[in-house]
Structure 1
Amino acid sequence: MPAIPQPLRPDDDGGVDTAVGSALSAFHAGTATAADVLTALGQARLLVPVVALLTESEVGEHGLKQEKESEMALPKLVGKDGREAVLAFTGVEPMRMWRPDARPVQATGPQVCQAAKHERAAAVVIDVAGPIPFVIEGGMLQALATVEEAKRDASALDRLAEAVPDLTVARLRERPRRWWDRRRR
């Protein structure tokens, strides 16, 4: 039987993470880079929308069409060029600006990017309806997805290094504890 995952932050009030909000505002003002936003997103909770899709309906006793069965779905954005994007939001209010009936599911930035990769989406669009939309795509989408994947499979980093040109993956080894305890004589 599938288990319902525990929320990332049980005390979450749905507000925008302060670091992400500041990074997006600074990026919009031209005083921060996309790397600054990505750094904030990599550590923050995002909200992924799920919506109900009617799968079967029936006519009720008063002659009105009513829901019989529905499923929850992860909506995707489809661009004019046909590429798909997974949506994520920094908070409940930005999600309501897009679609008031969507329900939030907590996820980290790397988890959202991994979901996009799994869905074969070309991008993740953060806060598509505002206040400050931001897009993660290309090598950065691949890299953030790999951060999540590497938690379960260390060889994911090697695959990333092969897939993204000019990327260097450095492996740092922890030194024995006594190395830190040595004193100069």
Structure 2
Amino acid sequence: MEPPRHLAQPNKRFLGDDGSPDPLVRAALAAVGDQVSYSRAVVALCASRLLMPIVASGDETDHPDPDRHAEMAAVTLRDGGTTHLLAFTGMDALRAWQSDARPVPCHLDELAASVQPAGATELLLDLAGPSPFVLGGDLLAAIADGQRLVEFEDGAFAWVKQAQDGE
């Protein structure tokens, strides 16, 4: 799957980003053990920069070909009957999975919106560790729709969506 054009272009939002993972996100993912900690991990991810890997695909030949061209594609992984779109919380996790993959920085809602066009049903974060994490179903659909999960001081969770211009 070719990444959405806007994700494949350089983006000023991430100028100066060195690909380091957000330690709060990593801690939240590592702490997942029940529904509350899973929801807290989603809250952390909603406010974080993530990396979608893209790899060369296309004309594969065993000999030099001046007409050969490669295209960059987002990566999906099929596990049983489920297809996952891959993403990572930092360059270290991406390199642990595949050192030659190119990172495309993006936010969780952009990744979530890319899952279905990629032919996937779930988003799989940090496949090679340190703490793999899966998003799917209604939760993924809400995030793809631009909603963010937030946690209130009393521990309650709610979905919020930023109003678009003209709303």
- Give % identity: 31
C-alpha spacing 1:67/1:17, structure 2 compared with 1 (3 Å): farther
C-alpha spacing 1:23/1:66, structure 2 compared with 1 (3 Å): farther
Structure label with greater radius of gyration: 1
Q: Is the 8 A contact 2:85 2:120 kept in 1?
A: yes
Structure 2 stretches lacking a partner, 5+ long:
148-157
Residue 107 of structure 1 deviates from its aligned partner by 0.6
Which of 16, 27, 46 aligns to 2:21? It is 16
Give the letter aligned to residue 22 of structure 1.
Answer: A
Give the letter aligned to residue 69 of structure 1.
Answer: H
- Which structure has more relative contact order (CA 8 Å, sep 6+)? It is 2
Q: Which residue of 2 aligns with 1:95?
A: 94
C-alpha spacing 1:49/1:67, structure 2 compared with 1 (3 Å): farther
Q: Which residue of 2 aligns with 1:69?
A: 69
C-alpha spacing 1:67/1:47, structure 2 compared with 1 (3 Å): farther
SS of aligned partner of 1:14? coil
Whether 1:146 aligns to 2:145 is yes
Residue 33 of structure 1 deviates from its aligned partner by 1.1
SS of aligned partner of 1:118? coil
Query: For 1:171 and 1:107, how far apart are their aligned partners in 2?
Result: 18
Residue 16 of structure 1 deviates from its aligned partner by 0.6
Which of 57, 63, 72 aligns to 1:59? It is 63
Query: For 1:95 and 1:113, how far apart are their aligned partners in 2?
Result: 18
Whether 1:40 aligns to 2:44 is yes
TM-score by length of 1: 0.69
More helix by percentage: 1
Superposed CA RMSD: 3.1
Aligned residues: 147
Q: Which residue of 2 aligns with 1:27?
A: 32
Residue 66 of structure 1 deviates from its aligned partner by 8.7
Q: Which residue of 1 aligns with 2:114?
A: 115
Query: For 1:130 and 1:140, how far apart are their aligned partners in 2?
Result: 22
TM-score by length of 2: 0.76
Give the letter aligned to residue 129 of structure 1.
Answer: A
Q: Is the 8 A contact 2:52 2:87 kept in 1?
A: yes
Residue 8 of structure 1 deviates from its aligned partner by 2.7
